Amino acid sequence: MRTKETFAVYVFDTTTDALAMEAWCREHGVPGRLIPLPQEISAGCGLAFRMTPQDDEKYRSALEASGRKFAGVHSVQQFVLRDQGEERKRDDYS
Please say whether the beta carbons of 12 and 68 come within 8 A: no
CB of 90 to another protein, least distance (A): 6
* First and final C-alpha spacing in the chain: 27
- Beta carbon of residue 56, minimum distance to another protein (angstroms, whole number): 18
Q: Which is nearer to another protein, 5 or 66 (CB)?
A: 5
> CB 24 → another protein: shortest distance, Å?
22
Q: Which residues bind another protein (CB under 8 A)?
A: 1-2, 35-40, 43-46, 78-79, 81-82, 90
